[in-house]
Amino acid sequence: YPDKLYNTGAKLATYKGERFMPASKTKNLLMSYIAYREAEKNNAIDALLIDKDGNVTEGTRSSFFAIKNDVLIAPPKEKALEGVTRKIILEIAGKIMKVTEEDIHFDKIKDYDECFITGNTMKQSLNKILQGYFDFRKQYATGNQSVMRQLAAHGQQPEVMIVSCCDSRVDPSVILQCD
């Protein structure tokens, strides 16, 4: 996220809706796409998804957390995607404070000491990944042809290699139109 948001906070929208099979990665992203588009129209960085009971489950591209009385609270993993970033936050926080998973009702959000989102799918990340790839090719691979040939001769030889975030909700075969 842009640095200024860490000091000023970020605008979030809300969207009443639940992902189908929320604990699983699926290609059914229409509802999240619609919610995110609505957030963008309102100059928000993401939309928080609100379930039928009024609880915040997650953002369209982020995990949601709250803190109250030095306890980190996350929505139950049955109601939100248990992505890599979420797992790491819960693991690290568990070493320094109490961590619990429970419903976080949107109407009571002001009762918490702090609320925050985490995510790793911002547009800047893709630019950084692509720049890293091009820098690698230019600065390392070109000057180390013999090492690259040796690795290719003794390792796998895929026709195409796609590097993707392990928490990606996008199927590369759809984007690249290949199997």
Per-residue pLDDT, 168: 47
Per-residue pLDDT, 48: 94
Q: What DSSP element (H or E) covers 100?
A: strand 98-101
13 C-beta neighbours (distance < 10 Å), count: 19
Per-residue pLDDT, 124: 46
Predicted confidence pLDDT, tens digits, the chain (179 residues): 667 776 778 889 999 988 766 666 666 678 888 899 999 999 998 999 999 999 999 998 889 999 999 899 999 999 998 888 888 889 888 988 999 999 999 999 999 998 888 876 544 454 555 566 667 667 766 777 777 677 667 665 555 555 554 444 455 555 555 55
Half-sphere exposure in the Cβ direction for 108 (13 Å, CA): 10
Phi-psi region of 70 (alpha: psi -120 to 50; beta: other; left: phi over 0): left
Side chain identity, residue 179: D
Distance, in Å, from the CA atom of 77 to the CA atom of 94, rounded to the nearest integer, reads 16
Per-residue pLDDT, 140: 67
Distance, in Å, from the CA atom of 24 to the CA atom of 147, rounded to the nearest integer, reads 39
